[in-house]
Amino acid sequence: MSDICLSVRNLSKHYRGVKAVDGVSFDVMRGSITGLIGPNGSGKSTTIDCISGFTSADCGEWRVDGRVLTGTSAHQHSAAGLVRTFQNVRCYESMSVLENLRMAVVAKEGVGLWSAFLGSLRASAADEAARQHGLELLELIGLSAYAEAPSSVLSYGQRKLLSIASTMMSKPRLVILDEPVAGINPTMILRVEDAIRKLNASGVTILLCEHNMDLVMRLCDRIIVLANGQLLASGTVDEIQADKNVLEAYLGPDHMRPTS
């Protein structure tokens, strides 16, 4: 099997003549945490919307573990092992934290939520497996104490953690994290960082779309830089930090040095 988990080739998306993404190609290596960065308007959001199946591309191709996902729905992307979070986190506030995770299950064996409610033996077994998996994920992200609490009690940062855990319920190969630390305090950023490291250590490949450069530089094995809808640079953290084009284009040398 190839070492490449996600392969994107010649991805383009235009809006009324504006080239949001213009012929972008890159790879995400299996088992890595790869950063996707760029200033506002660089094409990051459009790129991840396309490769997660939430927006149709004008042209290009992308594969996960060699399987072509171009032109397929977000549900088909999820079934193939590619899932994502969103910047704006939402949860079912009247349900418990654990129930929120169980609602996020993708029933790979054809057992859906309604059949679970009907009480078939197969559905009951699947629901119990989902419950146990949810408890394991809550332990991993540090929210096990809230398992039976209504999700309405969670802070915004804790909801970000819950969102990440929800993506893991389907046991994906690749998770795209869209601004996972936006709008949360420094202490919670460290908790999210710890959760990302643990998920990656469990074997999940992560594509991290993030504005927080300190976090990106601490976490990522490789970084992809977009600017004006095009690929500006791709390489290791050291290579990106030393790349004159990146420094001059938008980051600047001061922003490229992580704080201690």
**List of domains in the chain:** 4-90+171-251 (3.40.50.300), 92-153 (no CATH)
C-alpha 222/C-alpha 235 separation (Å) is 5
C-alpha 160/C-alpha 154 separation (Å) is 10
Residue 254 has a pLDDT of 55
Residue with the two structure tokens 């033996």: 121
Residue 251 has a pLDDT of 53
Quote the DSSP letter at residue 95: S
Tokens, residue 225: 């830089």
Task: List the 82-84 sheet strands across, edge first.
Answer: 82-84, 174-178, 205-209, 33-37, 222-227, 230-236
Q: Which helix (H) or strand (E) holds 125?
A: helix 121-141
Residue 130 has a pLDDT of 84
Count of beta carbons in the 10 Å neighbourhood of residue 39: 14
Instruction: Give the sign of the dihedral formed by CA 75, CA 140, CA 34, CA 192.
Output: positive
Residue 108 has a pLDDT of 43
Collapsing DSSP states into helix, strand and coil, what is residue 113? helix
Residue 259 has a pLDDT of 47
Q: List average pLDDT for each run of 10 residues in the chain, which is 260 residues long.
A: 90 92 97 94 94 95 95 90 91 91 62 49 68 92 94 94 92 95 94 95 96 94 95 95 82 51
Collapsing DSSP states into helix, strand and coil, what is residue 219? helix
Quote the DSSP letter at residue 232: E
Over the Cα atoms of the chain, what is R_g?
19
Count of beta carbons in the 10 Å neighbourhood of residue 23: 14
Quote the DSSP letter at residue 240: H
